[in-house]
Amino acid sequence: MNSTDNCMKRWIRPEIRALHAYPVPDASGMIKLDAMENPYRWPAPMREEWQQLLGATDVNRYPDPTAKALSLRLKQTLEVPDGMDIVLGNGSDEIIQMLAMAVAAPGRAIMAPEPGFVMYKMIAKFVAMDYIGVPLKQDFSLDMPAMLAAIEAQQPALIFLAYPNNPTGNLFSEQQVKAIIEAAEGLVIVDEAYHAFADHSFMGELGNYPNLLVMRTLSKLGLAGLRLGLLAGSPTWLAEVDKVRLPYNINVLTQVSADFALQHAEVFAKQTAAIRADRTLLLAALKEMPSLEVFPSAANFILFRVPEGQGSDIFDKLKQSGILIKNLTPQGGLLQDCLRVTVGTPEENQAFIKALTTLL
């Protein structure tokens, strides 16, 4: 063992050394249905107008640290209730990190149902907090007795509830989410990353609970490349979260581009309506395959289970035929033999269905 290695082991915390960096597979040349991206580009005139705007943007200056213009536009477009504030993040991943940094202390915990979004657990590790993963029930609904018992026993500082949940795609019961918010002494963050594809939101509930915050992102809507997420809630909470935000976390190109994109909200409304309609078709096509178990989805992806023991094999063969989806089998537990496909264009969805049919 060389001395760099020894030195590293002395200083990098064991829980960090035990982590694997978030894996992002190479998708060049593939039909990419793994990451819940919107498959559609912008209409040509809109792209041209945007390019002109970017051409007139100065990059020699630091961006507006509070992104005033963009924040105002977001509050209007996302219908943030009066009296509530927002904080912006470099993707909602950064917001999870800011929340964790603001509350982290020895012995404090982050809690989330599992299977769920992996960054809650990763970020708990980053900031040396405990993590409590409470298993969902077999049908991916919340296990309320287990959730309430864990809250009472451990009083987590933060509870994340993805609504709809990733990777399962379902919306939890609104009444149960409210019961969790009421039972928790810590903050409950309803993560609405897939809001554009669901019919329910907790945004309107912000004023009703002192410990509720709502997180959104523009990634799944169609702006994943810009990295912009936001946290909405009471100014009392957000002023504290804002203190751990790095001063220029939203770069000037993102500020200009997101503000421009939101002025064309109708383009995204049209795209997401098409994705929702295609989700219905994709669900129906998957349900026609008798060997699959297909789970309901309020998001822009669908989770399904293939026959026992075949998850990784089917995933690999799809990949060999040029179609990249997400293999959840390695996560085990309730996700054994489960695969997740993002709703793509009609052509992409058909290619996926065709390839899958030949493998079953």
Can you give the binding site for ligand PLP, defined by CB under 6 A?
91-93, 117, 162, 166, 191, 193, 217, 219, 224, 229
Nearer to ligand PLP, 148 or 224 (CB): 224
CB atoms within 10 A of CB 332: 11
Nearer to ligand PLP, 144 or 224 (CB): 224
Peptide bond into 39 cis (omega under 30): no
Helices (H), the chain: 3-11, 14-17, 44-55, 68-77, 92-103, 118-126, 144-154, 174-183, 235-243, 252-262, 265-287, 311-320, 346-359
Chain residue at closest Cβ approach to ligand PLP: 91
Of 197, 200, 164, 353, nearest in space to 276 by CA: 197
Q: Is 254 left (phi over 0), alpha (psi -120 to 50) or beta?
A: alpha
How is residue 58 annotated by DSSP? -
CB of 56 to ligand PLP, least distance (A): 27
Nearer to ligand PLP, 250 or 285 (CB): 250
CB of 341 to ligand PLP, least distance (A): 14
Nearer to ligand PLP, 217 or 351 (CB): 217
End-to-end CA distance of the chain: 48
CB of 232 to ligand PLP, least distance (A): 14
Nearer to ligand PLP, 232 or 355 (CB): 232
Burial class (CB in 10 A: 0-12, 13-18, 19+), 274: middle
CB of 196 to ligand PLP, least distance (A): 12
CA 320/CA 250 separation, integer angstroms: 38
CB of 3 to ligand PLP, least distance (A): 37
Nearer to ligand PLP, 92 or 329 (CB): 92
CB of 299 to ligand PLP, least distance (A): 8
The answer to whether residues 35 and 324 touch, using CB atoms and an 8 Å cutoff, is no
Residue partners of 287: CB distance under 8 A and separation at least 6: 294
CB of 255 to ligand PLP, least distance (A): 15
The answer to whether residues 158 and 356 touch, using CB atoms and an 8 Å cutoff, is no
Nearer to ligand PLP, 219 or 327 (CB): 219
SS3 22: coil
